[in-house]
Structure 1
């Protein structure tokens, strides 16, 4: 049985290799600064003044990226916050970066303990009464963790209220709230907002799934200092990592006189990818990959 699994994985790996593309270039916080990341998010004429910036987490976990379109992230450049090691995203996104947990995220992930949290805190003054930011959540914990306590989570708290919500709902953005189910199709949630990469046909990054581009919007107090806390973490263990990609130039003040409206829905493109059909040989590949990658489930 093990030999069959290995053979299936070999077939599966060839398919991934044939679809490989140039990968994004990542710059982590060992060579850039939290202030640079916050400024990268600002739109031109954003109507936002950055007052202060702070980061907690492993410096190797988070930073900036370019050439994101090469891997179908959804936008070409921006900030990446991860629960692993940023530079391993193209290869083996499965690292315990030994960062501290963020217990505040347990409110959004079902009360599970968190590990390896990365948190970017931005104090800012807007001119309008709302702000908007575009992002994508992705994880190497799909599909094995759907419906389990390994419910990695991303939150964006504006003045204490989480605004990283599944569009059209009040659900926080986690593995369990945006997916197309596990390998058997169970526990699917908001599948139309999910891009399934279990077969490696969406991106060559080491992610088993990504959301569509989401837009977070939040009410703020114009002319006063407001706080945005962006945070991501593993849930229930410190492996099989997750990432929040935040689009460069998408943090903007809106909703005030002379400013554009914020709609709070999904951002523009990419289009949803339909679920692959059931294919016998491909199913064997999936089973082989599952057996090799998730020995922890049997522990």
Structure 2
């Protein structure tokens, strides 16, 4: 098998962007596979949960703090990964988190491996419910628009509600990006919702890119009725180059979702002034 090869663009950012990043630090991750702890961390006003279960590697999930210091859209919450949760609390090195934990895939995500799943029942005191999250992946930037389309799903009573705002597209590597396979590449998909980290623009994030803050919304509920929610993330096609979903603590409430506003974070970073410098990085140890 040949090693995976990633073509990336090296950039120099303006002094303001560099100074801002220097004041930040990676998030602090506490690994746990306690399903009740993970689910309860999400709960906000008007929501009650029960029957929480966890499936996956015991080191693939956890809680986190310090997101604001890491310039992320969520300060604290839980994370589910297709690798090791602790890796999310490391700095950018050029080769992001990539661990084959030897786990099974999920029937909910075709051709998947290393699946991590959190399932629980819930009731809402109103006819609506919502929660906030963002997605990150090491598959950015070198494998956009390829078969390595890592994704996650939030299934409400069996229906996936994790969608790109204003579309029926699942939130996945191939559906939110600035093109590919290199950065920036061709055929971008919903780039207004994507934050590139191809060259460590945010050195406190180990992943090659991540989405802006999304909100999953549920409507038409019967107040007090029991519903099910399944959160699942997995590697697709192979078991390396991990992905993660970060969910905001206390954001699972009985309130409807606010209107999403794209954050042109990538455009702002590039607008700070960059010089293009192409380079090829061979990812040692990441075998296909």
Choose which of 101, 107, 112 in structure 2 pairs with 1:103.
107
- Structure 2 distance, partners of 1:170, 1:10, is 34
Is 1:68–2:71 an aligned residue pair? no
Call closer, same or farther: CA 1:295–1:245 in 2, change over 3 Å: closer
CA change 1:156–1:61 in 2 (3 A) is same
CA contact under 8 A between 1:51 and 1:225: conserved in structure 2?
Answer: no
Within 5 Å, give how 1:122-271 maps onto structure 2: 122-182=120-180, 183=182, 185-219=185-219, 220-254=221-255, 261-263=256-258, 265-266=259-260, 271=264
Q: 1:38 to 1:295 in 2, by over 3 A?
A: closer
| Structure 2: distance between partners of 1:227 and 1:65 | 24
Kept after mapping to 1: 8 A contact 2:11/2:277? no
> In 2, distance between residues paired with 1:222 and 1:211?
32
The question of whether the paired residues in 2 share the 8 Å contact of 1:74 and 1:270 is answered with: no
Separation in 2, partners of 1:117, 1:169: 25
CA distance in 2, matches of 1:186, 1:288: 18
Q: 1:279 to 1:103 in 2, by over 3 A?
A: same
User: Of the candidates 263, 270, 280, which is equivalent to residue 288 of structure 1?
Assistant: 280
Aligned-partner SS, 2:108? helix
Task: Note the alpha carbon deviations across 1:25-71, whole angstroms, 9 max, x for none.
Answer: 111126xx21011111111xx11111210010111010100111121
Which shows bigger deviation, 122-131 or 191-200? Answer: 122-131
Could you tell me how far apart the structure 2 residues matched to 1:35 and 1:210 are?
Answer: 27
- Residue 103 of structure 1 deviates from its aligned partner by 2.2
Deviations 1:160-196 (A, max 9, x none): 1100000000000000000001225112100001001
C-alpha distance in structure 2 between counterparts of 1:221 and 1:55, whole Å: 26
Distance 2:263 2:10 in 1: 30
Per-residue CA deviation, residues 194-253 of structure 1 (Å, 9 max, x unaligned), is: 001102113522100010000000133321110010110111111110000000010001
CA distance in 1, matches of 2:11, 2:168: 41
Unaligned ranges ≥5, structure 2: 1-7
Distance 1:198 1:293, change over 3 A: farther
Displacement of 1:273 in angstroms is 2.5
Q: Spell out the pairing of 1:1-12 with structure 2 (5 A cutoff).
A: none
Change (3 A) 1:50 1:97: same
Contact kept, 8 Å, 1:152 with 1:233, in 2: the verdict is yes
Alignment size in residue pairs: 266
Shift of 1:121: 0.4
Q: Distance in 2 between matches of 1:133 and 1:191?
A: 22
Structure 1 unaligned segments of length 5 or more: list them.
Answer: 1-7, 107-112, 255-260
Between Structure 1 and Structure 2, the one with more strand by share is 2
Native 8 Å contact 1:28 1:61 kept in 2: yes
Query: Is the 8 Å Cα contact of residues 11 and 274 (structure 2) preserved in structure 1?
Result: no
Partner Cα separation in structure 1 for residue 226 and residue 168 of structure 2: 25
**TM-score, reference length from structure 1:** 0.81
| Structure 2 CA distance for partners of 1:156 and 1:186, relative to 1, 3 Å | same
